Amino acid sequence: MSNRHLARSLALQSLYEWDFHALDQDKAIEIMERNLSEFAPEMDERPFALSLVKGVLKNKEGIDAAIGHFAPDWPIERITTVDRNVLRMGIYELVFDQEIPSKVAINEAIELAKTFGGESSGKFVNGVLGAVYRDQQAKGIAKPADKPKESPDAPVDSPPPLEKSEE
């Protein structure tokens, strides 16, 4: 398991505990810090995990509105606690975090849903996040992280054509 995947797993578990107990937002950060200390004390991605939880909390109102818009048949309170928080993290990374490629955000959210959610959680999360992604594309919103990177080994100009040698 990569450090970022572990960080996302701990962030999800922290948000789940915070949401399940309907605690104040400050408590979510305390829960995240406790979980990091207890389960990943030497993990390199501590700042990433904390920024993920803080980002979800800071943008929760807009994220929840997006969930309501892209999953209109599922009022936010009817979505399971796991799926709701996987969607919150996925939408945060997809829409608000400009450094995470969109496909990475979607794939990571699907994996978390499959691991921690129910039988159809992966499909549900994929459907909602796919709709958010398509909406972003339709509006012409492109993240810097989604732009193709130039390979440092790629030639700048095409090489000259090879000549046939006559033997």
Residues in the chain: 167
Please check the confidence at residue 165 and state whether its pLDDT lies above 60.
no
Task: Report pLDDT digits (tens) over 118-156.
Answer: 999 999 999 999 999 999 999 998 888 888 776 555 555
What are the start-end ranges of the H helices in 71-154?
81-91, 102-116, 121-138
> For residue 163, which amino acid is it?
E
8 A C-beta contact, residue 70 and residue 132: yes
How much is the pLDDT for 42? 86
Average of pLDDT values for 55-80?
95
> For residue 68, which amino acid is it?
G
How much is the pLDDT for 1? 53
Burial of 53 (0-12, 13-18, 19+ CB in 10 A): buried
16 token code pair: 């789940």
Give dist(CA 160, CA 166) in Å, integer.
Answer: 18
Give dist(CA 89, CA 104) in Å, integer.
Answer: 12
How much is the pLDDT for 55? 97
Give dist(CA 26, CA 48) in Å, integer.
Answer: 18
